[in-house]
Amino acid sequence: LFAGPVDFVKGVVAMEGLPPPDRAEVCFAGRSNVGKSSLINALTGRKNIARASNTPGRTQEINYFTLGDDHYLVDLPGYGFAEAPVAVVAKWQRLLKAYLAGRQTLRRAFVLIDTRHGIKAVDEEILTLLDRSAVTFQVVMTKADKVKAADREKVLAQVRAALQKHPAAYPEIVLTSSEKGDGIETLRAIVAGIG
């Protein structure tokens, strides 16, 4: 599906470090522990490719991967961790805002939401930032295997309702389980179709 290599490219800590904007890119965001690394591994078919971005020191970087020759996959640091020093958080937020507002080749953000939890206040912050940056975002529900079908519907209803107030939200929600493989092919096709 992705013609060409899937590889880790680099971790970026400042706008000057971004790779040349020579292809479409999509970014992945989500609170820590939402299942982002697992999803990126499943999506790329590379077992530990996203581990780099979870190692200490890498956590405040924008991590670039190639998805074949035509796309970059951008892994944004997990949010919602209160432990980071204020100055570190402030520096990261400046970079994130600059990236979202200024990256011409960024086509869509995928925001990961745990199917057990739905959209929380910390998620709302990033959704609002995406609205303000005019970056279209699509919600990807993770760990769907952990929730019974009836409860999934309740969470999906909550998410749909929450998305009503976000102009940048893409209406289709993707339900995934990296563990079972559900929704992975769908998500792969969505990303591959983004030009």
Q: Which residues bind ligand GDP (CB under 6 A)?
A: 30, 32-38, 54, 78, 142-143, 145-146, 177-179
Whichever of 6 and 184 has its CB closer to ligand GDP, that residue is 184
Least gap, CB of 118 to ligand GDP (angstroms): 16
Nearest approach, Cβ of residue 42 and ligand GDP (Å): 8
For the bound state, the minimum distance from the C-beta of residue 67 to ligand GDP, rounded and expressed in Å, comes to 18
Which residues neighbour 145 within 8 Å (Cβ) at sequence distance 6 or greater? 177, 179, 180, 182
Cβ closer to ligand GDP: 53 or 66? 53
Distance CA 153, CA 172 (A): 14
Strand order in the sheet with 137-142: 6-12, 62-67, 71-75, 24-30, 106-114, 137-142, 174-175
Q: How far is it, in rounded angstroms, from Cα 126 to Cα 30? A: 9
Rounded CA gap, 23 and 70, in Å? Answer: 6
Q: Taking the complex as a whole, how short is the minimal distance between the CB of residue 114 and ligand GDP, in angstroms?
A: 9
Pick between residue 139 and residue 161 the one whose CB is nearest to ligand GDP. 139
Task: List, in order, residues 6 or more apart from 164 with CB less than 8 Å away.
Answer: none
**Nearer Cβ to ligand GDP, position 133 or 178?**
178
Min dist. Cβ of residue 176 to ligand GDP (A): 7
Rank residues 33 and 93 by Cβ distance to ligand GDP and give the closer one: 33
Three-state DSSP state, 78: coil
